[in-house]
Amino acid sequence: MLSNTCKYAIRAIIYLALYDGENRKIGIKEISKELNIPTPFLGKILQLLAKNKLLTSTKGPNGGFGLAKPPKEITLLSIIQIIDGLDLFTECLIGLSSCKPTEHNDVQCPIHKRYEPISKQIYEMFDTENIENLKNEILASEGKIGL
pTM, 2 dp: 0.90
Cα 98 from Cα 143, distance rounded (Å):
46
Specify the pLDDT at position 55: 98
Specify the pLDDT at position 138: 95
Whichever domain contains 13, its CATH number is 1.10.10.10
Domain annotation covers residue 115: yes
Residues composing the chain: 147
pLDDT band at 75 (very low <50, low <70, confident <90, very high): very high
Domain annotation covers residue 110: yes
Look at the chain and report how many structural domains it folds into.
Answer: 1
Question: Residues of the chain with pLDDT > 70: what percent?
Answer: 94
Greater pLDDT, 87 or 82: 82
Cα 59 from Cα 90, distance rounded (Å):
39
Specify the pLDDT at position 13: 98
Calculate the alpha carbon distances from 72 to 9, 13, 96, 104 in Å: 16, 12, 37, 41
Please give the residue range of the domain that contains residue 136: 4-140
